[in-house]
Amino acid sequence: MKSSEQLILAQDEKTPEITLIQLWDTSKSVKVRKAIAKNPNAGPKVLKSAARLYLEEVLENPGFFMLELFDEDTWIKNLSEAYSNPEEFINRLYHRNAISKHQLGWACLLSPQLTARAINVITQYIPSTTLKRAIKNKAVLNNVKLLYQNSLTSLEVWPFDLETILVLYRENIISSEDLYHGLSNYGVASTSARRSTFNKFISQLIQKYISTREPFIAKLLAKMFLVLRHYVLQWLSINDTVTTRLQKTDGLFAEVLSHMKRSYEVNSLSKESFNIVGDLVSRQIRFKFFRSVNNKRLDDNYHYTPDQITQVYDFMKSYDLVSVPFSSYGLIHGKSAVDALVACRDEVKEFFIRSGCVGSWVSAFGSDPKYLLVNGVNEAIFEREGISNNLLFKSCSLRKVIKLDESTHIF
């Protein structure tokens, strides 16, 4: 039988169910199979098979809802409920098992009764391929976008988990600005996502930054890092993509930390987030300024130069980070660092000393290079401001040990 003849039979609402089954089993034509899926005479056997690929046609079939009234098949009942009332369906069944099934999650998304709460569950458990297929339908795509936008301006409780909005962003359903505003609905360090979703998001955003150098990306990352639980943010330190692309991201994480610093000063947010991102900034600085020709790693034998150290200071100053302590990140260290600092400007010396890069104490011996460095900066501050809280130290112990006063640091 020719395909044209098969299509006529498949479209004819008088064609018996048995004939439609035979057509379904023998035809490979998409047009014929879609027509069968729409035919009111198609029975449960055909509709179950058709729903795997042509769910929209099955749900448009008036015969499907007649089956729902008279057929006790659990699959038919669940599919009908998922389409008719997604949120009630999700509440009734354990969502992970129900929604992860291909047709059921897809039916929820196709439903005109879709809600924001239903989207929140569906996007977390539906297979990625099914989500991509569902949003090819413009009506579905526009409905999901609208429900997200309405939630941004609603006075009701924010319905979306971080996992959900990262998936929506990944699939280009929401924009960067939409994501940013959505992140504003979480408390400080209060939310998380699955590791795979988070890593894919970070990789996607870093690649976008490398390609476009879009400034908003740093602002978006800062907003996100401030609401992430610390164990999620720590994944950055062991993310291979972040590590290998640090050399290409230039000042991205410095800009992120600068945005986070401003929020910290206003809201007294957690230091732990700063420490994690600060470590990334330090790693970036080591890549940018302290790598030899053969890419030798930094160690106690590394030879710093005054120019290198001054360039680091100028880099930090350009991102308004000179007041952020970097003592725990190993920015510079060792005797070579002290020797190089001696030849730098006073403001450069003061920054690295306050950052803890020369340690937290100094032996008060006139010939000690570290003491000469610290004492010289302290005297310069005294000449500039007199006795003030900005002094590096005001006295030393009986053992002639100067403790650099941490109370003079910004944090």
Task: Determine the pLDDT at residue 410.
Answer: 34
- Asked whether residue 247 is assigned to any structural domain, the reply reads no
- Asked whether residue 213 is assigned to any structural domain, the reply reads no
3-state secondary structure of 261: helix
Task: Determine the pLDDT at residue 101.
Answer: 61
Task: Determine the pLDDT at residue 293.
Answer: 39
Residues near 372 by Cβ (< 8 Å), separated by ≥ 6? 342, 366
- Asked whether residue 343 is assigned to any structural domain, the reply reads yes
Task: Determine the pLDDT at residue 394.
Answer: 72
The model's pTM: 0.81
H helix intervals, 126-251? 128-134, 138-153, 162-170, 176-183, 195-212, 216-227, 230-233, 240-245
Task: Determine the pLDDT at residue 214.
Answer: 94
Task: Determine the pLDDT at residue 400.
Answer: 66
Helix (H) or strand (E) holding 75: helix 74-84
- Asked whether residue 346 is assigned to any structural domain, the reply reads yes
Q: What domain count does the chain have?
A: 1
**Residues of the domain holding 334:** 290-411
* DSSP tally for the chain: helices H, then strands E: 25, 2
CA distances from 262 to 236, 265, 285, 289 (A): 21, 5, 21, 26
Q: Please count the other Cβ atoms lying within 10 Å of the Cβ belonging to residue 54.
A: 20
Task: Determine the pLDDT at residue 269.
Answer: 62
Tokens coding 238: 């062991």
The whole-number mean pLDDT for each consecutive block of 10 residues of the chain, a chain of 411 residues, reads 83 89 89 90 85 86 72 77 90 62 84 95 88 92 97 94 96 96 88 93 92 94 92 86 80 92 67 85 85 52 88 94 71 84 93 83 81 89 85 69 55 30
Q: Please count the other Cβ atoms lying within 10 Å of the Cβ belonging to residue 268.
A: 9
- Asked whether residue 359 is assigned to any structural domain, the reply reads yes
- Asked whether residue 137 is assigned to any structural domain, the reply reads no
**Cα angle 45, 48, 49; round to 5:** 90
Distance CA 233, CA 198 (A): 9
**Cα angle 344, 345, 349; round to 5:** 75
- Asked whether residue 176 is assigned to any structural domain, the reply reads no
Length of the chain as a residue count: 411
Residues near 353 by Cβ (< 8 Å), separated by ≥ 6? 341, 373, 374, 377, 392, 404
- Asked whether residue 393 is assigned to any structural domain, the reply reads yes
Residue 214's identity, in one-letter code, is E
